[in-house]
Structure 1
Amino acid sequence: MVEDLADRTRDLYAEAEARLLGIIARQLAAGLDAPGWVERKLAAIQQLRRASQAVVDELGKAVELEVFDAVASAYNEGHRAAVAELGALSDDARRLVDDVTPNAAAVDRLAQETVDVVTSTHRSILRAVVDRFRAIVAEVTATPLLGTGTRRQATQDAMRRFADEGIRAFVDRAGRRWQLTSYAEMAVRTSVARAATEAHMRTLSDAGIDLVIVSDAPRECPLCRPWEGRVLAIDGLTGERTVEVEHAIDDGRMIPVRVAGTLDEARLAGLQHPNCRHAVSAYTPGLTVPEQATSDPAGYEAGQRQRAIERHIRKYKRREAAAVTPEAQRAARLKLRQWQGAMRERLAAHPDLRRLRHREQPGASNLPEQRTEATPEQVEAARVWSGDEQSIREMSDDELAAAEGSRLLDDRARARIEAEADRRDLDDLLGRVRPGGTLAEDLTPFSDTELARAFGHLDDGDALRVMAEMDRRDLATRLPGVSPDLVGLSDHDLAARARGADPDTLALIAAEAGRRDLLARLFPGGQLLGDLSDVGDDELAWCMQYATSEELFRIAAEMDRRDAVDLPQPADAGDAVEDLLADRDALAEAMAPAPDPEDWGRLTDDESFAAEAAALAAAHTDEDGDEHDERHTITRREARALYDEYVYRQYLQAEDDCNGYLLNKKAKTAGINPATLFSGPARIAYARASDELKEWWAEHGRLTQAEFVEQVTGKSQRWADGARKNESDQQGKR
């Protein structure tokens, strides 16, 4: 099923070997009969090394891509083969198994192991080429001196032997030297077989199938012959045994099955060795009928003879490529035709054999075919398709973009690229939002979308800051002069929108940029500046739009500090009402009263406003044009408002003078508020007042609201006389 997947890798090494042989042959043949041939050949070793190094470098690049593709394809072939065998499962179960993503990590591991094994021989290829070249030069130099032949004959003989041996750059643990092409083919074929088998067994195990049956392959080898048609367990106990399993379609019915051992046990005994033709498939109890295995030793011998003929054909094709003289080329071509005739005779005698012409080709007529180099998109697509998550993480953004542009990827592979791109975008965003693990001081450069995406990755304290920033943006969208559609954009998006914008849009963008600059400067870290002394009045007023209640108090305190004036000393004329009015007038004068209404009324274009200002100015002027005294224009309503201030001042003064003893024992027990004693009927106040307070009233007086209004406005009040009589009566009772 996956045997042909290794062919391309074998052809790559065959082409490389042919190229190297051709390089050596051409280098030796140049100036073969000229004097000083030995010196020139030894001096050309560096040139030979560079040419060989170029071949090996290109070979390494091509092999890595081919091996990853081959192993990934083999793994998927094994996976699909297992799904096809699950006919006894329900449609839903088969669909579930078919949707399982092949184990990318296992594919990558198998492929990388194979690449490492195969390319490990590359280090010794150059050494083998250079050493063989030196040996041939030395042999050719010695032969004419011994009188056993000409230099040309010696060169041809040495190259013929080199072509027969091939580039043997690998020695296994048994001491056997492997030819480069044979070793690469064996390693890759073994790897793709492992990948297909592992995917096959993994998929069957996931579906709950733990028994498999070995196929009956033609021309089986002696190692595999004992296992043909036998049932094996995917895992479990080793050794031959009989197990009871449930019938596949007859629920509750148990049937005995003879198990020859486990799959690993059979492999250790030789089953599924390199180039093995046997496969295993799902065994369905009660439905699968084991085939009667037939032994074919003669077929095996015939197949082995065909392999030998193929080796001879390849041998003489290599001799032809390495020929230095025309005579050697003709001799190699004649022997090649003889062995090709032997192949035709073998196939005629054994019709069951198939001629595999690709196994006879070390190269394309000894001239390696033009190979289309893999594009960067194809290379990166292969890495995405066959690699695991770590492989994708190690790819750069440019490599992922190259893979994305390839048509080789399916939807699942593209989803992996998108997931990795999203992960990188999130990491980049968190790196900008939380540089050094600490939330950025200024959050205004980030868009609403970016803050929302990072929100789930922040701790509680940082999350509160982000929520405060979002609240501030919601508030900004309702403020005049702010464009709502620009508030939620990042600085990058804002700059992008500015490119090519019309003048009106540019003005809005500039205003938004200025707003963000002010926020970043006046609210670092989302909090109002600690020191407001250097903030201008206009900017301080602008801050009030975004300030919290506590920050508003700070702004107000700063404004009070700037607008502070020297307040006059409290009046102390001995009359509480006169003192109150005098303090009121002094405070109004100290606070710089507004200019004449006629002056500021003229500054407006509103005629009605100007008319009202003129009328107000007239109200403050008498018939002679003199301004009225503001004290004499106090209305009863204003007087009642002033009375509250009078009462409060009297209460504070009395409490200070009486050391807090304002209530008698009974009133204090009843929980009376002492402030209520300074207004209302005198009889109630004196009934609750302490002796100290009564003495204080006798000295400073106690006015009811009617008395206060009468005194302030100069207009008599009908309740004032009664209030004075009650006060006098209460004083008389003392």
Structure 2
Amino acid sequence: MAQTQQQQESLPSTVSATAAAVTVVFVAGEQEVLTGSAAIIRAAINDPAQVPGLYARLWELSQGVSRRILSRVRTLSTGAVQVASRNGDVTAVREIQALQRSTERFIASPVSRIPSHHVQSSAAIANDLTASLAGAAQRITRFANDAYRAATVNGALVGINPARDIIRDATARATLVDAQAQAWRELTSRGITGFTDSAGRQWNLSSYVEMAVRTATQRAYNASHKARMEAAGITLFTPSTTGRPCKLCAPWEGKVLSDQGEADVVQDGHRFRISATVEQAMAAGLFHPNCEHTLTAFFPGVTVLRTTEWTDRDEQAFKDTQRQRTLERAIRGAKQAQAAALTDLDRARAARRVRELQARMRNHLAATGLNRRSRREQLDLGNK
């Protein structure tokens, strides 16, 4: 007799942990560049004789960090993708075994027991991730230009305009040093920027790397998982139910996907509908950047489909979550500005900003019932 089989959940914690381990390498490099550049600029402010060599020292710092990270990119990318591929493969084997136990109608093909179904796909994904991370590492070198402009050209231009001192709550004419500190504060609160994905979205360094690694590991996991399942003779799939869908993913939860495309099917006395191919679902938004969905086998009469209807309440919950993420980024930005402040006054100003944002976070969580993710507010994303 067939037993019902629930859909698997989101990406395993080991895959997320692997993505975090790669991200922290770039986050640490970013902090080294930000705080190191601040020290160089502070020295030049205190000793004008160092100004002529300012750009060279900033360039040397950012170039050294970039070069050190670049030397690790290939190893980091390959390791992360291989872990994700192995996880997908192992999960598929367990799912196949569970399906065999659930119904006598399914007998896995012997081909599914042959190892290394994931090798080719994972190599291609690792190459793509290597290229993305190498570009991110190289972008670090451009921070020398941004830092120099913030400390000199931009600062001089801003210096002729009034500036508001939020510590004394008074309006006063800015000195050049004040203007430089303001330009620097704005730069460091954003972190290293200049990253654009294929959809035109803008990212800073840590967010871009985290997105790129999570997306690549998700691809590797799903490709390995799907290859093993297909080798077993499984051709019907459905997305996992993560419990945290967005409006792009929600329409696909509880839907059946197959390479044959949209169709009404009767199989072993069970009627169901194939909604699309996996590729069509992806084109419509499934497996978007940072998505946690995976594919799982659908076997008629055994698999229980769990559909998700996107409601106004879901929309509000999604907006609340996005607001939390915005506040997390803002808190990290204020902490970055505090760590890389050029003056004691600017350090105090940034510390005040951190406290204000943390208060906003507490109020937001109290109003929405969301759980605080303190690690996401840390400069290292809590990945040390």
- Please tell me the TM-score bracket, short chain as reference: 0.7 to 0.9
State which structure, 1 or 2, has the greater radius of gyration over its C-alpha atoms.
1
Q: How far does residue 256 in structure 1 lie from its aligned partner after superposition?
A: 2.0
Q: Does 1:13 align with 2:26?
A: yes
The one-character-per-residue Cα deviations of 1:709-732 (angstroms, maximum 9, x if unpaired) are: xxxxxxxxxxxxxxxxxxxxxxxx
Q: Does 1:339 align with 2:361?
A: no
In 1, distance between residues paired with 2:367 and 2:159?
A: 48
| TM-score under structure 1 length normalisation | 0.45
Distance 1:270 1:173, change over 3 A: closer
Q: Does 1:258 align with 2:273?
A: yes
> Aligned to 1:84, which of 66, 76, 94?
94
The total of aligned residue pairs comes to 353
Aligned partner letter, 1:89: Q
Distance 1:30 1:364, change over 3 A: farther
Aligned partner letter, 1:88: L
Aligned partner letter, 1:18: Q
Distance 1:121 1:57, change over 3 A: same
Secondary structure of 2:115's match? coil
Aligned partner letter, 1:225: A
In 1, distance between residues paired with 2:272 and 2:158?
A: 71
Moved over 6 A (4+): none
Secondary structure of 1:205's match? helix
Q: How far does residue 68 in structure 1 lie from its aligned partner after superposition?
A: 1.6
Q: Map 1:9-408 to 2 at 5 A.
A: 9-34=22-47, 37=48, 40-86=50-96, 87-89=98-100, 93=108, 97=112, 100-142=115-157, 148-172=173-197, 177-233=202-258, 235-236=259-260, 238-239=261-262, 241-246=263-268, 254-295=269-310, 296-351=314-369, 353-363=370-380
Distance 1:278 1:174, change over 3 A: closer
Tell me which protein shows more strand as a share of its residues. Answer: 2
Any conservation in 2 of the 1:41–1:137 contact (CA below 8 Å)?
no
In 1, distance between residues paired with 2:237 and 2:347?
A: 53
In 1, distance between residues paired with 2:24 and 2:109?
A: 38
Q: How far does residue 268 in structure 1 lie from its aligned partner after superposition?
A: 0.5
Secondary structure of 1:343's match? helix
In 1, distance between residues paired with 2:113 and 2:180?
A: 60
Distance 1:320 1:146, change over 3 A: closer
Distance 1:66 1:355, change over 3 A: farther
Q: How far does residue 111 in structure 1 lie from its aligned partner after superposition?
A: 0.9
Any conservation in 1 of the 2:338–2:346 contact (CA below 8 Å)?
yes
Secondary structure of 1:32's match? helix
Any conservation in 1 of the 2:264–2:273 contact (CA below 8 Å)?
yes
Q: How far does residue 168 in structure 1 lie from its aligned partner after superposition?
A: 1.8
Any conservation in 1 of the 2:218–2:292 contact (CA below 8 Å)?
no
Long gaps (5+) in structure 1: 247-253, 370-734
Distance 1:201 1:175, change over 3 A: closer
- For residue 384 of structure 1, what is the aligned residue in structure 2? none
| TM-score under structure 2 length normalisation | 0.83
The one-character-per-residue Cα deviations of 1:109-134 (angstroms, maximum 9, x if unpaired) are: 21121011221233333133234314
The one-character-per-residue Cα deviations of 1:694-715 (angstroms, maximum 9, x if unpaired) are: xxxxxxxxxxxxxxxxxxxxxx
Secondary structure of 1:256's match? strand
Any conservation in 2 of the 1:3–1:193 contact (CA below 8 Å)?
no
Any conservation in 2 of the 1:25–1:322 contact (CA below 8 Å)?
yes
Any conservation in 1 of the 2:23–2:206 contact (CA below 8 Å)?
yes
Distance 1:143 1:316, change over 3 A: closer
Aligned partner letter, 1:255: H
In 2, distance between residues paired with 1:322 and 1:95?
A: 59
The one-character-per-residue Cα deviations of 1:145-175 (angstroms, maximum 9, x if unpaired) are: 7784223312210111111332224345666
In 1, distance between residues paired with 2:181 and 2:157?
A: 14
| Percent pairwise identity | 31
- For residue 515 of structure 1, what is the aligned residue in structure 2? none
User: Which structure ranks higher in relative contact order (CA pairs < 8 Å, sequence separation ≥ 6)?
Assistant: 2
Distance 1:141 1:300, change over 3 A: closer
Q: How far does residue 32 in structure 1 lie from its aligned partner after superposition?
A: 1.6
In 2, distance between residues paired with 1:341 and 1:145?
A: 34
Any conservation in 2 of the 1:80–1:98 contact (CA below 8 Å)?
no
Secondary structure of 1:329's match? helix
In 1, distance between residues paired with 2:367 and 2:199?
A: 37
- For residue 554 of structure 1, what is the aligned residue in structure 2? none
In 1, distance between residues paired with 2:308 and 2:157?
A: 60
Any conservation in 1 of the 2:156–2:180 contact (CA below 8 Å)?
no
Long gaps (5+) in structure 2: 1-10, 163-172
Distance 1:278 1:363, change over 3 A: closer
In 1, distance between residues paired with 2:157 and 2:319?
A: 44
Aligned partner letter, 1:245: Q
Secondary structure of 2:291's match? coil
Aligned partner letter, 1:71: V
Secondary structure of 1:120's match? helix
In 2, distance between residues paired with 1:216 and 1:178?
A: 28
In 2, distance between residues paired with 1:115 and 1:310?
A: 27
Q: How far does residue 84 in structure 1 lie from its aligned partner after superposition?
A: 1.7
Distance 1:140 1:193, change over 3 A: same
Q: How far does residue 298 in structure 1 lie from its aligned partner after superposition?
A: 2.4
In 2, distance between residues paired with 1:146 and 1:293?
A: 54
Q: How far does residue 199 in structure 1 lie from its aligned partner after superposition?
A: 0.7
In 2, distance between residues paired with 1:364 and 1:281?
A: 30
Any conservation in 1 of the 2:218–2:294 contact (CA below 8 Å)?
no
Q: How far does residue 66 in structure 1 lie from its aligned partner after superposition?
A: 2.3
Any conservation in 1 of the 2:111–2:231 contact (CA below 8 Å)?
no
Q: How far does residue 53 in structure 1 lie from its aligned partner after superposition?
A: 1.5
Q: How far does residue 340 in structure 1 lie from its aligned partner after superposition?
A: 2.5
Any conservation in 2 of the 1:125–1:169 contact (CA below 8 Å)?
no
Any conservation in 2 of the 1:320–1:332 contact (CA below 8 Å)?
yes
Aligned partner letter, 1:195: A
Any conservation in 2 of the 1:214–1:227 contact (CA below 8 Å)?
yes
Secondary structure of 2:60's match? helix
Distance 1:98 1:330, change over 3 A: farther
Any conservation in 1 of the 2:109–2:231 contact (CA below 8 Å)?
no
- For residue 424 of structure 1, what is the aligned residue in structure 2? none
In 1, distance between residues paired with 2:360 and 2:41?
A: 33
Q: How far does residue 266 in structure 1 lie from its aligned partner after superposition?
A: 0.5
